[in-house]
Amino acid sequence: MITLFRRLRQKLLDSGNITKYMLYAVGEILLVVIGILIALQVNNWNEERKLELEENRVLTALKDDMIKGIENLEYRASYETKNMETLKILLTEGPQKDSLLSHNKIDSLMYGPLWQAVFEVPVLQTYNDLKSSGEVSIIQNLSIRNKLADLELGFNNLTSQLHDVLAVQQLRIDEIAINDLDFITVLQAARFPSVTKRDPNNYREFLNNRKVRNTLGAKLELMASAIEFRQEMIVSSKDLLELIELEIKK
């Protein structure tokens, strides 16, 4: 092809027809320009394709993070709600409380609401990695980016609330569990059947203590707030997951 163009160019020069030669030269330049433009367009298309593939990879990883996060939130919310409901029964006079206190596994049933405080919050690892590397802009959908930022803020707020629950647990609940009960009896029933328990616990007397009731009431209030916020995070996470799935399908 190059040889053909050279021969044509030389033939026009030999003919002495300047007009035809100039038209040929312009045509050759146009062909070169068109070739360059096509090459640039192909290169741009390849770059866009690479960005789309990378975005799809990131969105797929985010989807996996969201699914795991929702499962974690739902599991923890269910567990915390169970403990909260038991606390409510213990602080409310009536047949439910009487039935619970007379249960043959009361020591085991007391372990969760009395001793445990759930602190775990999902981690948006893929989003954190994008922020650390300054590559959040890989996600083209602005709604997804905004919802990710909002969800991260929500998880930070949830962490703060759980810190409050943990503080009450460590500074108050642990104290009454150790000082006002035979905690070994609770531990033996719930966790370590081989340990030797000493005295049976009188939970009715325990719950009649004003300090105990107020302390458990404080934990109940903080737990309820944390559970409500965790439920809000579940709704927000599901909304974001749906948006990510729609973007992946595109």
Hey, what are 42's tokens? 């192909």
Contact residues for 168 (Cβ-Cβ < 8 A; gap 6+)? 215, 218, 219, 222
CA distance 103 to 92: 16
| Owner of token pair 């759980």 | 162
Contact residues for 208 (Cβ-Cβ < 8 A; gap 6+)? none
Q: Is the pLDDT higher at 14 or at 234? A: 234
- pLDDT confidence of 7, banded at 50, 70, 90? low
Residue 242 backbone phi and psi in degrees, to 5: -60, -40
Handedness of CA 33, 38, 42, 45 (dihedral sign): positive
Share above pLDDT 70 across residues of the chain, in percent, rounded to a whole number: 83
Closest CA to 61 of 151, 139, 133, 149: 139
Residues in the chain: 250
Q: What is the mean pLDDT of residues 145-153?
A: 94
Residues 187, 195 contacting (CB under 8 angstroms): yes
Residues 226, 157 contacting (CB under 8 angstroms): no
- pLDDT confidence of 21, banded at 50, 70, 90? very low
Alpha helices, H only, the chain: 2-15, 18-90, 95-101, 106-115, 125-133, 142-168, 174-179, 183-190, 203-208, 210-249
Residue 211 has pLDDT above 50, yes or no: yes
The predicted pLDDT at position 61 comes to 94
Residue 189 backbone phi and psi in degrees, to 5: -75, -35
Rg (CA), the chain: 35
Residue 30 has pLDDT above 50, yes or no: yes
Residue 238 has pLDDT above 90, yes or no: yes
The predicted pLDDT at position 43 comes to 64
